[in-house]
Amino acid sequence: MLSLRNNETVSIVIRRHWWILVGPTIVFMALLIIPAAVTAVGTTYAPRLLDFFAEPVGKFATVLYLLVLLIFAFLLWADYYLDVWIVTNQRIIDIEQKSLFHRVISEIPMRRIQNVTVEINGIIETLLKFGDLRVQTASEGSFIIENAPRPHEAKDVILHYLREDAENLKNPDGAGL
């Protein structure tokens, strides 16, 4: 579980944009319609096929098919929801869900950040205001959150904390403010 340090506050939580779920959702819905389409077509063109689905083996196959689809949807949603960047006033925490039971958690202290870049490619990303947010550090290289919603706002928050951190390094006791 994630615990915050003393005087640390969460500013923003960034997940990928909802647009990335559109393609898999369309595939999921199309696959969900297949049993209904088979039933509709089967009544007209292949009534014997419907006899198979009325038997226990056919019912089991249909339920198994729908269960696999449900698991697919759950894994897709879990991967979407559990991949997250948490930006605090002291660090960025990158939680990347690789699979259901495999997670990688990295953190970047604000002092180590050298560059923050936003990359928006294409008309859809421009219209829906999402893109890639890249944070470069001296020691670890680059951390990227792909398809982040409103990446410019996240960049501005990170840069604000970088400036604040630089001010605190110059004036550690608050003198001169």
pLDDT score of 175: 52
Phi and psi torsions of 5, nearest 5°: -85, 175
pLDDT digits (tens, 9 = 90+) for 125-168: 999 999 999 999 987 788 899 999 999 999 999 999 999 888 87
pLDDT digits (tens, 9 = 90+) for 45-95: 777 777 777 788 888 988 999 999 999 999 999 999 999 999 999 999 999
CATH of 10-17+84-170, one of 2.30.140, 2.30.29, 2.40.50, 2.160.20: 2.30.29
Listed residue (82, 105, 79) closest to 92, CA to CA: 105
Q: What is the dihedral of CA 43, 44, 49, 50, to 10 degrees?
A: 10
Domain positions in the chain: 10-17+84-170, 21-79
pLDDT digits (tens, 9 = 90+) for 22-35: 999 999 999 999 88
Report the alpha-carbon distance of residue 82 to residue 76 in Å, rounded: 10
pTM (predicted TM-score) = 0.78
Listed residue (162, 113, 161) closest to 141, CA to CA: 113
